[in-house]
Amino acid sequence: MIKPGRDVFEYLLRRYNLTATETAFVDDYPPNVAGAKAVGIEAVLFRNADQCRQDIAARLVSVR
């Protein structure tokens, strides 16, 4: 299994007993972000630390 195949994301959700809608994924490669989104994971494309913090804070949870 390799990213961005949906099988890797589905495996990780099962392996760690995660719910896709309650899981976040950050990556700097757009196809990997799209792969995570395809299985319902909230995904953020990393461009730089400030942007990533802002995207996570806006969509997911509070970050420090």
Which domain does 40 fall in, by range? 6-59
28: in domain: yes
Q: Which amino acid, one-letter code, is at 20? A: A
pLDDT at 59: 81
The answer to whether position 17 is within a domain reads yes
Q: Is residue 1 part of a domain?
A: no
- Residue 36 pLDDT more than 90? yes
- The token duo for 51 is 């942007």
CATH number at residue 31: 3.40.50.1000
- pLDDT, tens digit, 9 for 90 and up, residues 38-53: 999 999 999 999 999 9
Contact 2, 29 (CB under 8 A): no
The total number of structural domains in the chain stands at 1
3-state secondary structure of 26: strand
Main-chain phi, psi angles of 6, to 5 degrees: -65, -25
Tell me the pTM.
Answer: 0.85
